[in-house]
Every structure is written in C-alpha cells, then in structure tokens.
Amino acid sequence: DEFIVECPAVGEINKILIEHNNKGLSSGWFLDRILIEDTQDHRTYEFPCNRWLAKDEDDKQIARYLLPKGAMPAKKQLEDGTLTF
C-alpha cells in the first residue's frame, strides 16, 4: 500500500514508531518496510522491518520502533564510542 501524507519539515529522521490499535477481524499485518520521501531535501529514508504487527503472529507486537537503513544501533555506538547526545 502507498500513502501520501503532507507535513511540515521535520529535519533528519533518526527513528519512527509504527503501530496500530488491533481493532477488527484479522487486524494484524506484515510490514516489509517504510519509505519516506522528503521532497524539500530530495532525500529518501528507508526503514526496514520485515516483521508482523499482530497479536497472533511472530512476537505478538503491534508497535515497533524502526531505524533507517544503515543506522547503527545505540548499543554498537556505545561500544565503539560514537554515540552522541
């Protein structure tokens, strides 16, 4: 599916939260990835997921934080000294 949402510029996107309310029959869904296109900066962010958002599938989660493709997890940044605040 594809959705177009217009919003004010938010700057660099470091993570996103995707979730649903688990309402209705068969409310779970599989999320391959999310692509966000910044039309002002001409940047595309890819947030891989490859997991279910479902109470009856996978790890039973209906909310997930996603990091952009190529982002280094905070634990790894702590280990190699590159984590900044």
Query: Digits of tens for pLDDT over the chain (85 positions)?
Result: 888 888 888 888 999 999 999 998 889 999 999 999 888 888 899 999 999 999 999 999 999 999 999 876 666 656 666 555 6
At 40 the pLDDT is: 84
What is the domain range of residue 46? 16-80
> What backbone phi and psi angles, to 5 degrees, belong to 31?
-110, 115
At 67 the pLDDT is: 94
Q: In the chain, how many domains are there?
A: 1
At 5 the pLDDT is: 86
Closest-CA residue to 31 (of 43, 41, 46, 42): 46
Would you say residue 21 lies in a domain? yes
Neighbours of 62 (CB within 10 A): 16
At 56 the pLDDT is: 93
Would you say residue 4 lies in a domain? no
pTM: 0.77
Would you say residue 1 lies in a domain? no
